[in-house]
Structure 1
Amino acid sequence: MADQQSAQKRRLGFYSLDPARHTKMEDAQGLFISAMVAALGLYFLSQAGFLTSGTAGVAFLLHYAFDIPFGVLFFVVNLPFYYLSFKRLGLGFSFKTFIAILMVSFITELERKFIVIQHLDPFWAALLGGILIGFGLLGLYRHRASLGGIGILAIYIQDRFKIPAGLVQLGFDLCVMAAAFFVVSPMTVLWSLLSAVVLNLLLTINHRSDRYIAVR
């Protein structure tokens, strides 16, 4: 009976017996949950007026400078990177990344309808925002996806040159933070830098291409 149930689950795609592969169902739930976690982290940062890592940091800069919705900017800023993703990382990675970015862009804008924050300590916002986005990215990486932009470039460089993805993103983030001094206050930049360091250290310590590789 147990063998029949196991065979039925495999046919329906609930899980894969091969630890190096994901089923479509596993990918779907992984992308959705990871997008939810990352979007919550981005929402905390946006409520505190902070920036963050990667192309999301660029989207925040443009959002604060021109008052355009963050979700729209985050989706648009990532568009030029899809060519690199398709050419270097394949159609599967590119498609799942596109879906992840679309979900995060939509959920981040939607959350203000469900969550109202009356007080948010800047240290806690920076720390929790960085951790949540980091965990969201870890989940996406494990399902061969990312949040686009520098995430795509970082995964490619890690796979190609074995340079940790977190260090690649940290270098880009320093450039974003330097530009932020022209848009937001120096204290906001410092809190944002703390969040970016937390995020990238989490990725550097916990994500290695030789430790967890799963494909579909």
Structure 2
Amino acid sequence: MIEPAPLPVVPARSHSLAEQVAGLATGAVLASLGLFVLDAGGATTGGTAGLALLLARVSGWSFTGLLLVVSLPFIALAISRKGWAFTLRSAAALSLVAGFSALHPHAVGLEAADTVYAALVGNLLAGVGILVVFRHGSSLGGFNVVALLCQERLGWPAGYVQMVLDVGVVLAFAAVGDLAVVLATGAGAVLLNLVIAMNHRPGRYTGI
């Protein structure tokens, strides 16, 4: 039997500056669109984005402002543990998410959506957006920073770490949402983190 020829080893190539900018913008658009769909369906997600959505509904304050405020402690953690380059990219991505989140309600006529659909599709969009941002050496702040640190230093898959952290946000949402919405939200948060866990792990990507 003739053995197949081995595949050539292609050296890793880092993203160019233009690719980094395009990647962060793409991830931010997808993540913010996912949050917009979630909000239209009355669902939420985990992480600081989910916490900001929850606080915005309870307080009536701006989601965009709350997202930036609750992310500040994690930005400080990123500076001390991941360095300034990672932190500045993360701050830029987070700012883009906040900006696009403010834009979507004026550009898209989506005032209501089915809760289960919103929870699943919104979290799927957000998960793919976070994955794109991860692949460009950045994060969206919040639990993303903790999850990446655990993966890099302890070898724990980032998606599973974030899934555990997201449980707390889902439980907090249970205090203000009915059971059906909470269950849909929990399923959506699991889907988001499975996207990250299956696609972002050591050895799967060399473009950073």
- Provide the TM-score with structure 2 as the length reference: 0.91
**Is structure 2 residue 171 aligned with structure 1 residue 178?**
yes
Verify the 8 A CA contact 1:144 1:214 in the aligned structure 2: no
2:150 — aligned with what? Answer: 157
C-alpha deviation, 1:191, in angstroms? 1.2
C-alpha deviation, 1:72, in angstroms? 1.1
Looking at structure 2, the residues matched to 66 and 18 of structure 1 have their Cα atoms a distance apart, in angstroms, of 51
**Is structure 2 residue 131 aligned with structure 1 residue 134?**
no
SS in 2 for 1:211: coil
Write out per-residue CA displacement over residues 123-167 of structure 1, whole angstroms, 9 at most, x where no aligned residue.
221111111111101100010111111101100110000101111
- Given candidates 40, 43, 68, the residue that maps to 2:36 is 43
Looking at structure 2, the residues matched to 209 and 38 of structure 1 have their Cα atoms a distance apart, in angstroms, of 23
Write out per-residue CA displacement over residues 103-141 of structure 1, whole angstroms, 9 at most, x where no aligned residue.
101111210001112552222211111111111011000
Looking at structure 2, the residues matched to 54 and 106 of structure 1 have their Cα atoms a distance apart, in angstroms, of 18
**Is structure 2 residue 154 aligned with structure 1 residue 192?**
no
C-alpha deviation, 1:169, in angstroms? 0.9
State the 4+ residue runs in structure 1 displaced beyond 4 angstroms: none
- Given candidates 128, 140, 149, the residue that maps to 1:147 is 140
**Unmatched runs of 5 consecutive residues or more in structure 2:** 1-9
**Is structure 2 residue 71 aligned with structure 1 residue 84?**
no
Give matches, 1:69-148, under 5 Å. 69-117=62-110, 119-148=112-141
- Given candidates 168, 171, 180, the residue that maps to 2:161 is 168
The verdict on how the C-alpha distance between 1:18 and 1:99 changes in structure 2, with shifts beyond 3 A counting, is farther
**Unmatched runs of 5 consecutive residues or more in structure 1:** 1-16
SS in 1 for 2:134: helix
Specify the code of the residue in structure 2 equivalent to 1:204. Answer: A
SS in 1 for 2:92: helix
**Is structure 2 residue 24 aligned with structure 1 residue 28?**
no
Give matches, 1:9-24, under 5 Å. 19-24=12-17
SS in 2 for 1:184: coil
C-alpha deviation, 1:63, in angstroms? 0.8
C-alpha deviation, 1:22, in angstroms? 1.4
Specify the code of the residue in structure 2 equivalent to 1:136. Answer: G
SS in 1 for 2:122: helix
Verify the 8 A CA contact 2:41 2:112 in the aligned structure 1: no
Specify the code of the residue in structure 2 equivalent to 1:63. Answer: A
C-alpha deviation, 1:201, in angstroms? 0.8
- Provide the TM-score with structure 1 as the length reference: 0.88
| Identity value in percent | 36
C-alpha deviation, 1:18, in angstroms? 6.4
Write out per-residue CA displacement over residues 45-92 of structure 1, whole angstroms, 9 at most, x where no aligned residue.
011111102111111111111011111111111011112111111111
- Given candidates 196, 203, 206, the residue that maps to 1:210 is 203
Looking at structure 2, the residues matched to 18 and 213 of structure 1 have their Cα atoms a distance apart, in angstroms, of 9
C-alpha deviation, 1:170, in angstroms? 0.8
C-alpha deviation, 1:182, in angstroms? 1.7
C-alpha deviation, 1:184, in angstroms? 2.1
1:66 — aligned with what? Answer: 59
